[in-house]
């Protein structure tokens, strides 16, 4: 009961902060009450909380990999009755970026995981109490005047929808049913619906297609933000969004808080941008995710030394392998074999015999240590991901290691091959204390250093 009261108070404070922020930013708008609004003409900010779970696997770690089953046969969307639990990964820590958004009319605040690696946004609409009580109440459709069911006659219920791999079907009661399975065995299924987000009396989105989950393994929903036509970013017609990931803390019950912007970010004057690589329909290759936010890394430095990795390793080849994705829904960063091997070789060289032998965290990361994390970080030094035009992601030596429990610390990088993926993925572990902006109009990704926790105060 005490934890429930604490969670409710936390959500109230988040929504109060959001309401005050939006109200202040709308003082100069002339939008008429109850009209839908072009969100890009505004600057809406929200608290972005970092939730660190120690008792669940991280489904979001693999969200961007599920979207293309041809690329990853192991990650096919299976029927629930035949799913093989051997596909699960035993990640002890899951670092998810959570934003609380006002769904429906009047708004009901719902927690959603910010995921730039997936398309469908969905909320909790349980008809019965879930096995594990969620930290916030599920969405109640009967309380919203703008809620409607997507009918079976809608094109979304037809198979093989271009750029949307969700499994949908028309069920007996004429509802458009969907099922979505993730690589670690967790899932969400329910009905596709239309609903608005009500940010204020004068700022309301058009009706958006969302998943209304009646069964799921997670207490929160997902805010799908990739480049697909059914993502929240596309449906709401925003042309840019950004977030600032706070540094992670491992204290139980702690919720480090950063920021999330829809529309213009007042801090963008200090951002530096890299080109977003895009792909046409004719370029769709078996190992490519054409809806992801793709960039090209030029190189990697460790402790001031540039590793001998060809830039071609970070760019999609003729089959799509090697694509480099910026993904808020993945915790760790993943590198393909050539790059991962060079990083591991350099880490082993500078740390020496300190690396744990025969230890592979979660089946994907084997650069792990038992010793003093501060001293090991000092030996490794800063890690830098280099991009075009001198743009860099700098990971200071104090944060190159992730605490994975049991006194073990690992480099926050895993092997793409062991993940059964053909891509490089820049996860949120390497996006801490940094603004990341997705400028959809100009097809670019911006980065800017920041103290994300301080900005949120």
Check whether 184 has a pLDDT greater than 70.
no
Query: Cα angle vertex 31, ends 30, 35, to 5°?
Result: 165
Tell me if residue 439 is catalytic: no
First to last CA, the chain: 28
Percent of the chain predicted with pLDDT > 90: 53
345: its two tokens = 């070789």
Mean pLDDT of 97-125: 93
pLDDT digits (tens, 9 = 90+) for 187-207: 778 889 999 999 988 899 999
pLDDT at 340: 97
User: How many angstroms separate the CA atoms of 287 and 58, rounded?
Assistant: 23
- Residue 88: pLDDT band with limits 50, 70, 90: very low
pLDDT at 80: 30
Mean pLDDT of 215-240: 89
Mean pLDDT of 233-255: 85
10 Å CB burial of residue 292 (0-12, 13-18, 19+) is: buried
Check whether 294 has a pLDDT greater than 60.
yes
Mean pLDDT of 233-257: 85
- Residue 392: pLDDT band with limits 50, 70, 90: very high
Percent of the chain predicted with pLDDT > 70: 72
Check whether 179 has a pLDDT greater than 90.
no
Q: Look at 316 and 248; give whichever has higher pLDDT.
A: 316
pLDDT at 94: 62
Q: For the chain, what's the residue count?
A: 457
Highest mean pLDDT among 124-128, 152-156, 165-169, 340-344: 340-344
Q: Which of 218, 327, 366, 439 is catalytic?
A: 327
User: How many angstroms separate the CA atoms of 189 and 279, rounded?
Assistant: 30
pLDDT at 260: 97
Which residues sit opposite 46 in a β-bridge?
A: 260
CB 424 within 8 A of CB 324: yes
Check whether 316 has a pLDDT greater than 80.
yes
Q: Look at 19 and 331; give whichever has higher pLDDT.
A: 331
- Residue 384: pLDDT band with limits 50, 70, 90: very high
Query: In 3D, which of 361, 431, 403, 424 has the Cα closest to residue 50?
Result: 431
Check whether 160 has a pLDDT greater than 80.
no
Query: In 3D, which of 61, 64, 66 has the Cα closest to residue 83?
Result: 66
The four Cα atoms 74, 76, 80, 83 give a dihedral, to 10 degrees, of -10
The counts of H helices and E strands in the chain are 6, 27
pTM for this model (two decimals):
0.83
Lowest mean pLDDT across 58-67, 82-91, 151-160: 82-91
7: its two tokens = 């969670």
Check whether 224 has a pLDDT greater than 90.
yes
3-state secondary structure labels for all residues of 183-199: CCCCEEEEEEEEECEEC
- Maximal CA-CA distance, the chain: 67
* Structural element, H or E, at residue 438: strand 434-439
Tell me if residue 115 is catalytic: yes
Check whether 89 has a pLDDT greater than 60.
no
Q: How many CB atoms lie within 10 A of CB 288?
A: 22
97: its two tokens = 């970026």
pLDDT digits (tens, 9 = 90+) for 394-434: 999 999 999 988 899 999 999 999 888 899 999 999 999 99
- Residue 165: pLDDT band with limits 50, 70, 90: low
pLDDT at 86: 28
Q: Is 142 helix (H, G, I), strand (E, B) or coil?
A: helix
Q: What is the mean pLDDT of the chain?
A: 79
Q: Look at 418 and 314; give whichever has higher pLDDT.
A: 314
Q: Which of 115, 289, 366, 439 is catalytic?
A: 115
pLDDT at 172: 63
């Amino acid at each position: 009961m005490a934890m429930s009261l604490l969670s409710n108070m936390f959500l109230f404070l988040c929504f109060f902060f959001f309401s005050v922020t939006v109200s202040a930013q709308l003082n100069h708008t002339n939008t008429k009450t109850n009209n839908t609004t072009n969100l890009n003409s505004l600057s809406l900010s929200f608290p972005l909380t970092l939730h660190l779970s120690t008792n669940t696997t991280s489904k979001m770690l693999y969200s961007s990999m599920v979207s293309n089953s041809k690329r990853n046969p192991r990650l096919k969307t299976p029927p629930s009755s035949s799913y093989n639990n051997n596909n699960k990964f035993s990640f002890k820590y899951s670092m998810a970026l959570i934003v609380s958004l006002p769904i429906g009319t009047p708004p009901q605040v719902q927690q959603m995981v910010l995921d730039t690696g997936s398309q469908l946004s969905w909320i909790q609409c349980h008809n019965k109490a879930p096995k594990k009580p969620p930290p916030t109440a599920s969405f109640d459709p009967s309380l919203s005047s703008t809620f409607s069911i997507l009918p079976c006659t809608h094109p979304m219920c037809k198979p093989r929808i271009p750029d949307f791999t969700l499994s949908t079907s028309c069920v007996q009661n004429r509802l458009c049913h969907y099922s979505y399975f993730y690589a670690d065995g967790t899932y969400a299924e329910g009905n596709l619906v239309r609903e608005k987000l009500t940010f204020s009396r004068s700022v309301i989105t058009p009706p958006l297609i969302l998943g209304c989950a009646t069964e799921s393994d997670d207490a929160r929903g997902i805010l799908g933000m990739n480049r697909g036509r059914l993502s929240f970013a596309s449906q709401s017609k925003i042309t840019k969004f950004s977030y600032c990931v706070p540094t992670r803390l491992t204290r139980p019950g702690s919720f480090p808080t950063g920021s999330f912007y829809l529309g213009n970010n007042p801090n963008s004057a200090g951002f530096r941008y890299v080109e977003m690589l895009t792909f046409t329909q004719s370029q769709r290759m078996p190992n490519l995710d054409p809806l992801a936010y793709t960039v090209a890394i030029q190189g990697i430095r460790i402790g001031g030394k540039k590793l001998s990795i060809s830039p071609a390793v970070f760019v999609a080849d003729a089959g799509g392998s090697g694509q480099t994705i910026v993904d808020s829904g993945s915790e760790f960063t993943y590198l393909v074999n050539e790059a991962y091997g060079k990083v591991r070789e350099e880490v082993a060289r500078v740390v020496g015999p300190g690396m744990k032998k025969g230890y592979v965290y979660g089946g994907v990361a084997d650069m792990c240590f038992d010793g003093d994390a501060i001293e090991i970080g000092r030996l490794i030094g800063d890690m830098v991901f280099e991009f075009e035009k001198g743009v860099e992601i700098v990971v200071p030596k104090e944060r190159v290691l992730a605490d994975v429990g049991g006194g073990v610390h690992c480099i926050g990088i895993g092997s793409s091959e062991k993940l059964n993926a053909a891509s490089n993925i820049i996860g949120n572990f390497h996006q801490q204390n940094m603004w990341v902006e997705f400028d959809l109009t100009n097809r670019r990704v911006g980065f800017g250093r920041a103290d994300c926790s301080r900005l949120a105060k």
